[in-house]
Structure 1
Amino acid sequence: MTEYGNTLDQAELGKGGPRVGVQGLGCMGMSEFYGDTDEAAARETLEAALAAGVTLFDTADVYGRGRNEEFLAPFVAAHRDEITLATKFAIERTDDPAFRGIRNDRAYVRAAVEGSLRRLGVDVIDLYYMHRRDPAVPLAESVGAMAELVREGKVRHLGLSEVTGAELREAHAVHPIAALQSEWSLFSRDVERSAVGAAAELGVAFVPYSPLGRGFLTGAFADASADLSESDFRRHQPRFTGDNAKTNAALLAPVREIARELGASPAQIALAWVQQRAAVHGLAVVPIPGTRRAERLRENIGATRITLAPAQLALLEPIAAQVAGDRYPDMTFTSAAREA
């Protein structure tokens, strides 16, 4: 398996934005969604990430209904000047576990940031994302409210998640956007329709979430309903169960083949493909694979030292078009649902 160096190369988040390691860490699974959690192992993973050169740490107020931000607070306090802290607002949860609302209005933005600042134990958030777009709220209102937070010193840089290229351009005209975070992987390439091109044009960095297809691209599970615990939300995602899972598992053959050729893991090949999008599309790309285990983190970082050859990239190219099933049961609040 390909090992990693002591430090990662760096990339800039937006024009004049912070420089971060070219691979970040998604912290969502440290609090919920992927079955049982292990706080001690997760804290070890945070420290291992920083030691390896990871400096972008990503959370959101919706993860654990605030618990993930609270979990990160001691780590942030111990390393505040060494890391770039990103969090997100816009997804609203209640005591009903099935409920998900989207709020982008000015009052909600201002209330949300205060909650995140308190839970994280910081005076300023380095990168503040709008997690999902509510088309009923004008971007001028939501991004304008976010821009107020920058002027007030509560936020340093702004980001968006799951927006189209047109929406990114509209938002960027209100206030510079440093980073666009959306799902991008060998299984999910809808962002290439317009968002990637717009980000490259505007100098906005791209932060792919779920670059390992929520673990499916690693081969860690073949059918979520059979292989994962009852508390794992992947059991409810269309592409990971039933006939869809069987179809998609067969698509991993070239990933495994290239992994054998290079003495790497399938996860490293999938991540290397995402990292290489930077050169393909001419923009900064900083994926944020999530893990709760230090050994998996080190494996992921090894992908930054792999360069896939043209013939290998050609083998991987057809995969996304053949994937069965949507990313979510309800795609309403994804950028794909609003593409022309």
Structure 2
Amino acid sequence: MEKNNKTSISRRSFLKTAAAAGAALTVQPAINRIKAANVALNGENVSSVKKDGMPHRTLGTGRAAFEVSALGFGVMGMTYNRSRHPDKKQCIRLLHEAVERGVTLFDTAIIYGPLTNEQLAGEALAEFRGRINVTTKFGHEVIDGKATGRQDSRPATIRHYCEESLRRLRLDVLPMFYQHRADPSVPAEEVAQTIADLMKEGKVQHWGMCEVSAETIRRAHAVCPLTAIQSEYHLMHRLVEENGVLGVCRELGIGFVPYSPINRGFLGGGINEYTLFDPTNDNRQTLPRFQPEAIRANTRIVNVLQQFGRTRGMTSAQVALGWLLQKAPWIVPIPGTTKLSHLEENLRTLDFNLTPQEWLELETAVAAIPVVGERYNAEQQRQVGG
């Protein structure tokens, strides 16, 4: 438990206040949909269009343009890498609640499980085809339902994974197909051409890449225009601001989808040095940044977010999401959760209207605190930035 939680608004305290309303929200989701305000963004609004009370944003430009809700939903943690999770019926119920609240972008991947996350998304969301979009990812090699630890983006493999994802997701066409990690043995141009062919065949509508360099983005985009780049991005990891990735997205009109926007739950304030992660289903126990000593040191950053949010009626998770949303109108974070109260909390981020000066104040305060621990272990780090 946070030492400063008596003087700050934490994710746990939000959960308590939201719990009483949770049942009513489940019964009458249409009446209680989020009423989103326009957030000032360097003279622009969060979105130029609203549907069902939810602001929408556009990832990509031209024929690569893809309109989605301003906040998406990361499905991964419902079955993979996030310790205990609710049973399937509860997960399906929560995904339906997200749809009712206006979320139209849901993110999964072949490697999550492997396969089980796509199966869950397919079972839960197939009935909303035409209303929402489920994006998925290829690249990590999976053989007989098990991950090998290798990358495989050969054209024949991409085609095979595409067909399998269509079947598991119960779709006729994939709204967006990301390359999850670069394959060092397959040039980006060859991957892009394979996706272009799948688009011509009507099996893929848009495509993206994850954790790749600015140079790789340029090469791939020249062959087949990219709709979005997905990389880790939050107040404790801002590498894409420095390595040219955000810059090239801005230049080429490519959208950006930050994964782990609350730093795997850490910025929500509910994790401390005594938190135990499930050794059979939680990768955080292997990450340097989630070791007890690092958590203890990095809690100072959470305290800054809590103090900033306290005078504005925001939780630290809402501060973290709000900071990302105001960075650019073509950024769409995809926080995940297994709790209705956290879904409600995340979506209510869209209600707040802060000035650029306030966000600068937050950035300055956070930048003064060094982040302890790398985000990935050595093996996982070798797979990013290709």
Q: TM-score, normalised by structure 1?
A: 0.92
Query: In 2, are the aligned partners of 1:90 and 1:103 still within 8 Å (CA)?
Result: yes
Looking at structure 2, the residues matched to 128 and 96 of structure 1 have their Cα atoms a distance apart, in angstroms, of 19
Looking at structure 2, the residues matched to 152 and 46 of structure 1 have their Cα atoms a distance apart, in angstroms, of 30
Partner of 2:109: 60
Task: Determine helix, strand or coil for the equivalent of 1:100.
Answer: strand
Task: Determine helix, strand or coil for the equivalent of 1:129.
Answer: strand
Looking at structure 2, the residues matched to 313 and 144 of structure 1 have their Cα atoms a distance apart, in angstroms, of 41
Q: 1:243 aligns with which of 293, 299, 317?
A: 293
Looking at structure 2, the residues matched to 311 and 67 of structure 1 have their Cα atoms a distance apart, in angstroms, of 42
Partner of 1:51: 100
- String of CA shifts for 1:222-278, please: whole Å, max 9, x gaps: 13x743333322111110113211211122221011111111111101110111111
1:315 aligns to 2:362 (yes or no): yes
Partner of 1:11: 57
Query: In 2, are the aligned partners of 1:158 and 1:178 still within 8 Å (CA)?
Result: yes
Larger proportion of helix: 1
1:270 aligns to 2:320 (yes or no): yes
Compute the displacement of 1:18 (Å): 2.4
Compute the displacement of 1:7 (Å): 2.3
Looking at structure 2, the residues matched to 242 and 15 of structure 1 have their Cα atoms a distance apart, in angstroms, of 43
Looking at structure 1, the residues matched to 346 and 149 of structure 2 have their Cα atoms a distance apart, in angstroms, of 31
Q: 1:114 aligns with which of 144, 153, 163?
A: 163
Partner of 1:258: 308
Compute the displacement of 1:78 (Å): 0.9
- String of CA shifts for 1:185-211, please: whole Å, max 9, x gaps: 011110112110100111111111000
Q: 2:182 aligns with which of 108, 114, 133?
A: 133
Q: 2:349 aligns with which of 303, 306, 331?
A: 303
Looking at structure 1, the residues matched to 353 and 214 of structure 2 have their Cα atoms a distance apart, in angstroms, of 28
One-letter code aligned to 1:275: L
- Distance change >3 Å, CA 96–CA 48, structure 1 → 2: closer
One-letter code aligned to 1:24: G
Task: Determine helix, strand or coil for the equivalent of 2:265.
Answer: helix
Partner of 2:201: 152
Task: Determine helix, strand or coil for the equivalent of 1:65.
Answer: coil
- Give ranges in structure 1 of 5+ residues lacking alignment: none
Compute the displacement of 1:317 (Å): 3.8
Query: In 2, are the aligned partners of 1:222 and 1:240 still within 8 Å (CA)?
Result: no
One-letter code aligned to 1:237: L
Compute the displacement of 1:152 (Å): 0.7
Compute the displacement of 1:304 (Å): 1.7
- Distance change >3 Å, CA 318–CA 98, structure 1 → 2: farther
Compute the displacement of 1:169 (Å): 1.1
Compute the displacement of 1:114 (Å): 1.1
Looking at structure 2, the residues matched to 288 and 49 of structure 1 have their Cα atoms a distance apart, in angstroms, of 12
Choose 290-299 or 92-101, whichever is displaced more.
Answer: 92-101
One-letter code aligned to 1:15: T
Query: In 2, are the aligned partners of 1:159 and 1:179 still within 8 Å (CA)?
Result: yes
Compute the displacement of 1:311 (Å): 3.5
- Number of aligned residue pairs: 331
Choose 88-97 or 122-131, whichever is displaced more.
Answer: 88-97
Partner of 2:30: none
Looking at structure 2, the residues matched to 217 and 307 of structure 1 have their Cα atoms a distance apart, in angstroms, of 20
Query: In 2, are the aligned partners of 1:15 and 1:178 still within 8 Å (CA)?
Result: yes
Q: 1:294 aligns with which of 340, 349, 370?
A: 340
Query: In 2, are the aligned partners of 1:221 and 1:228 still within 8 Å (CA)?
Result: no
Query: In 1, are the aligned partners of 2:318 and 2:345 still within 8 Å (CA)?
Result: yes
Looking at structure 1, the residues matched to 361 and 303 of structure 2 have their Cα atoms a distance apart, in angstroms, of 13
Partner of 2:78: 30
Task: Determine helix, strand or coil for the equivalent of 1:170.
Answer: helix
Q: 1:203 aligns with which of 241, 253, 259?
A: 253
Bigger-Rg structure (1/2): 2
Alignment of 1:205-220 (within 5 A): 205-220=255-270
Looking at structure 1, the residues matched to 172 and 341 of structure 2 have their Cα atoms a distance apart, in angstroms, of 32
Query: In 2, are the aligned partners of 1:164 and 1:191 still within 8 Å (CA)?
Result: no
Query: In 2, are the aligned partners of 1:259 and 1:265 still within 8 Å (CA)?
Result: yes
Query: In 2, are the aligned partners of 1:186 and 1:319 still within 8 Å (CA)?
Result: yes
Q: TM-score, normalised by structure 2?
A: 0.81
Query: In 2, are the aligned partners of 1:31 and 1:64 still within 8 Å (CA)?
Result: yes
Task: Determine helix, strand or coil for the equivalent of 2:178.
Answer: strand
Task: Determine helix, strand or coil for the equivalent of 1:11.
Answer: strand
Partner of 1:83: 132
Looking at structure 2, the residues matched to 96 and 328 of structure 1 have their Cα atoms a distance apart, in angstroms, of 24
- Give ranges in structure 2 of 5+ residues lacking alignment: 1-13, 19-32, 36-51
Looking at structure 2, the residues matched to 189 and 93 of structure 1 have their Cα atoms a distance apart, in angstroms, of 30
Looking at structure 2, the residues matched to 229 and 67 of structure 1 have their Cα atoms a distance apart, in angstroms, of 18
1:142 aligns to 2:191 (yes or no): yes
